[in-house]
Every structure is written in structure tokens, then in C-alpha cells.
Structure 1
Amino acid sequence: MLARQRQELILDAVRTTGGARVSELVDTLGVSDMTVRRDIEVLARRGLVTRVHGGATAAGSSVEEPGFAAKSGRNPAAKQSIATAAAALIEPGASVALSAGTTTHAVATALLGVPGLTVVTNSLRVAEVLWAGDATVVLTGGERTPSDALVGPVAVAALRGLHVDWLLMGVHGMDVEAGFTTPNLAEAETNRALVATARRVAVVADNSKWGVVGLSTIAALDEVDVLVSDDGLEPDARRTLDECCGRLVLA
């Protein structure tokens, strides 16, 4: 296969799903890791993709927000493992806040096995999952984003004065300098309000989020008590997160 043909296939993969990992492209294209990285570099120089740690995203993706359906198909096995590990942090009868997102949606399903919970969420999808169990669900209200988060002044006002044992929060990206980020300014404000409600904060994010920087910072790495990720996280990322976060859990 010619280099241009490979690069077109990489570009198609990035445009279809919003991003592609080097390891996945190696398997798909049947070439070496180094070849894929060179092809990504060529596409990045042409302004067609953005290089991120371990792969590539669509150009300008730091300010573009994929919809819930588009994100649901990314790393489903890792999200399920993360959800199981995150649910294990929560004791029966606890009060828990859950942000919007596909990983927290998986966490909500895992929490169905924990009795007596009170759950605060700004996600209709998370609320729908939990209404099927015996949890008491408090939905914030607010304006809906492409990722199905409820955000804005109504959501922030609903969170004022609330106090929960845990916040389980999904993020768009995590970076040593930028911290935990999202591409949506209103969602960042609402997530910061969620952080303020919680005695302990756990971020749930798969390995593809490392090195991705969204438009707005929610929290610094050292402001969270636990980061739950997966064993696909690369060694340098593990070291950094282990040093900066309160505790690193790899599912």
C-alpha cells in the first residue's frame, strides 16, 4: 500500500470516529508502529489531524464536542472495566454525584448493584439507568449539550448547597499541564460546581484521554482523590498520574 493510501485510510478513521489510536491503525493497516506515526505526522503537518498521545484526533478536536452516540463506540471494553472499578469505591447508602458522559453512563449501570444510593446527576441518560434500580435520583436540569450533559445557570444553581460523599466524573482529556478538561465552556462550569459538592472526587477516563486537551479546565490533576483508568495507559502516563493524583486505579 502506498503512503498516500495509508494516510487516506487514517484520515477516514479519524473523521469517522473523531480519533484513532496508533495500536489500532497498526492492526488495521498491517504496518509498523513507526510507519503509522510518520503518516500521522504528515497529516498533522497538513493540518488534517491533531497529534495526541498514542494517536490522532480530528483537527480542532479540542473545541469540538462529539455526540453521545459517537463517543459510545470508543473503547467500550475499557469503559466497562473502569465502571466496575469505580463502582467498587462506593459503599451502600452513599450519596454520589455523576457527571454526564459515556464512561459515567457505564458507571451508572455498575452502580445498580449498590443498594440505597442517592445520586445527583446532570445527565438524563445516567438518570434513566438509575431509575431502573432503587436509587434516589436528583436531576439538575439545565441546557443540553451534544454529549447529553445538562449545563448552564440552572444546573449550577441546582448544585449549590448540595453535599455528596463522592463525585464520579468523566472528562474529555487529561494532561499534565492543562489537567482535566472539556471542550464545552458551560459544561466545565457545571462540572466545577459538581466538584464543589463532593467530599471526594474520582475521575473515570480511559487511556485515550491522556494527552488530549480540551478548551476549558475543570480541575488540576492534583485536585482529584482517585483517577480510575485502564491498563492500556502507557508507562510514562502512569508515572505522571500516580505522582499527581491522590490515587491511581488501573482497571
Structure 2
Amino acid sequence: MRYDSAPDRRRSILDAVEEAGFVSVTELTRRLGVSDMTVRRDLRKLAESGGVRIVHGGVSALRPALHSPEFTGRADENADAKRAIGEAAVRGLPATGTVAVDAGTTTYAAVQALADDFRGTLVTHSVPVMQLALTRDLGRVVGLGGELLAESQAFVGPRTVEATAGLRVGTLLLGAAAADERGIYVSTDNERPTKLALMDIAERVVLLVDATKFSAPAPVLLCAWDRITEVVTDTTPPPALTERLQAAGTRVRLAR
């Protein structure tokens, strides 16, 4: 959407910064449909009025956000694909359902895409997801505590796994670092137990990955494809992987 009115643009910038804590100039240019020069002029005006703080590469909130600029930076990568995947993933979810949300920027995009009238329960170990759900008043939030992993902005470890005991969810929105014919992968062993615990309490496991994950390197095998109910992605997986998904009975849904 193009914002030709300066007040509308600046209000949109303030909303984005309040939600994310940091937004890059590149992302604002894309969102607002205006030039880099126009965005920078708006940022100067907002900074002069005391609404935001200009930092290298973008703008930050005056009050610190719960999630870091690093998380926001990763969210900006392939942002259009993640947005489309998130919207497709939540399409059809019941407004009063129980949904577990894994850590990651693509799963975060799915929570962003939830309708304002969602009044279900979100179960998550992701700090950004907790913050967003509370900001938007999205139903109930069950937070899984533990040790905070700075890189993923999520709680992990034995206490996080223990917190899943006795819980049940209809759908898990799962993230991953990579995927191939063998299965799906994560970057570190620290993440694996929490993801597996979330999978164990879910009736449906929906993997959210963009096309870059089909060729990305990641060292730790999380699981084989028979644990995954559905994959939501932005492009058709490579032929060998498509064949493996069909053999495993894993449905593929393309986000348009």
C-alpha cells in the first residue's frame, strides 16, 4: 500500500517501531511504497518530535523492545515470502483453537497474520510471540519458561520441556533451519528438545519454511518427514524432496 500522506506514513512508522522495536529503512521503503529519501525525511521529523530514535540502518523505539534488532533483521530477510507463508498457515485455524508457536521469524509472521478476533490459546516459548500476542490482545497466552537463548529470543532447556507436560494443542506451527529428503534440521542441539516436546503435544505439526531452507546448511537433524503433517512454503520443493513428502504422506501447501 502506498502512503502519500505524511501523517499517515509517520503513524504507520510509529506502529511498526512500537511492534518490532527496530525497523530498517529498507523495510520501511518497501512497506510504505515511497523512496528512501522520503522515509529518511519522515524519520528525522519523528526523531525531532521525540517519537523514535534514529540508529544505523533504521529506527528504534525509545523504549526497549523485548526482542532484539538481530531478530528483526532476520525477519526482514525474505520478508514477503514469510508474510505469505504466515498468512497461509493461519488460514482456516479456528478462532478459538489452541495453537503452539515455535520460535523463529516465519512462525512470528504467522502470529502477525492472525485475525484480530482470534480468541484461542497460544502456547509458546518465543519471547517476540508473547510480546506480540499481548500487544494485540490475542486470546490467552501460555508461556513456556526456561533458559533464554539470545540468538532465537526463545526459552529452551529442561525446564521448557517440563513446562509442556500435561498440555495438548490442536496445531503446532513449527520452524526449521533447513530441510531435505532426510527430514528437517535445526542449527543447535539446544533447540531440539523443545521442538520435539512441542511436536509431542500437537495433533497436527505444520512446518513453515521458505524456499531458501531447501538449500540451507544446518547440522542437527530434528526429525524425519513422518512427524510432519503439512509443509507451508512459498515454492514447490525440489523433485527428490517432493517425492519423499508424498511417500511420508506430508501435505504441501503453497503460499501465493
Which consecutive unaligned segments of at least 5 residues does structure 2 have?
1-69
Q: Would you say 1:119 and 2:122 are equivalent positions?
A: yes
What residue in structure 2 maps to residue 136 of structure 1? 140
Q: Given residue 156 of structure 1, which amino acid in structure 2 is its aligned partner?
A: V
> 1:148 and 2:153 equivalent?
yes
* 2:209 is the alignment partner of 1:216: no
Q: What do you get for the CA RMSD once the two structures are aligned?
A: 1.8
Partners of 2:237 and 2:211 in 1: CA distance: 5
CA displacement, residues 90-141 of structure 1 (integer Å, 9 cap, x when unaligned) = 1121101000000011001112445221010010101111112231001101
Q: After the TM superposition, which parts of structure 1 deviate over 6 Å for at least 4 consecutive aligned residues?
A: none
Partner residue in 2 for 1:248: 252
Asked if 2 retains the 8 angstrom alpha-carbon contact of 1:173 and 1:181, the reply is: yes
How far is the alpha carbon of 1:142 from its aligned partner? 1.5
Question: What are the residue-to-residue correspondences of 1:1-251 with 2, within 5 Å?
Answer: 67-113=70-116, 115-131=118-134, 132-145=136-149, 146-177=151-182, 179-231=183-235, 233-251=237-255
TM-score normalised by the chain length of structure 2: 0.67
Aligned with 2:174: secondary structure? strand
Residues 172 and 198 in structure 2, CA contact (< 8 A), matched pair in contact too: yes
Distance 1:243 1:114, change over 3 A: farther
Residue-by-residue CA offset, 1:177-217 (whole Å, 9 max, x unaligned): 2x111112121111000101101110000011013342222
Is the Cα–Cα contact under 8 Å of residues 81 and 230 in structure 1 kept in the other structure?
A: yes
CA distance 1:244–1:194, shift in 2 (3 Å): same
Higher relative contact order, chain-length normalized (CA < 8 Å, sep 6+):
1
Change in Cα spacing, 1:242 to 1:81, as seen in structure 2 (3 Å) is farther
1:175–1:213 Cα contact (<8 Å) kept: no
TM (normalized to structure 1)?
0.68
> 1:49-91 CA deviation, whole Å, 9 max, x = no partner?
xxxxxxxxxxxxxxxxxx5234222211110110011001411
Residue 246 of structure 1 and its aligned partner are, at CA, apart by: 1.9
**Number of residues of Structure 1 aligned to a counterpart in Structure 2:** 184
Q: Distance in 2 between matches of 1:245 and 1:69?
A: 34
- Shift of residue 222 of structure 1? 2.0
One-letter amino acid of the counterpart of residue 155, structure 2? L
Q: Percent identity?
A: 33
Q: Measured at CA, do residues 233 and 71 of structure 1 come closer, stay the same or move farther in structure 2, by a change above 3 Å?
A: farther
Instruction: Give the counterpart letter for 2:129 in structure 1.
Output: V
Q: Give me the whole-angstrom Cα distance separating, in 1, the residues matched to 2:105 and 2:198.
A: 17
Q: Distance in 2 between matches of 1:147 and 1:208?
A: 18
Distance 1:134 1:230 in 2: 26
Q: Which residue number corresponds to residue 46 of structure 2?
A: none
Point out where structure 1 has 5 or more consecutive residues left out of the alignment: 1-66
Give the whole-Å Cα distance in 2 for the aligned partners of 1:241 and 1:129: 33
Contact 2:181–2:240 (CA<8 Å) still a contact in 1?
A: no
Return closer, same or farther for 1:245/1:208 CA change in 2, 3 Å cut-off. Answer: farther
Measure the CA separation in 1 of the matches of 2:243 and 2:76.
28
Q: What amino acid sits opposite 1:123 in the alignment?
A: S
Question: 3-state DSSP class of the match of 2:215?
Answer: coil
Q: Structure 2: which amino acid aligns with 1:79?
A: K
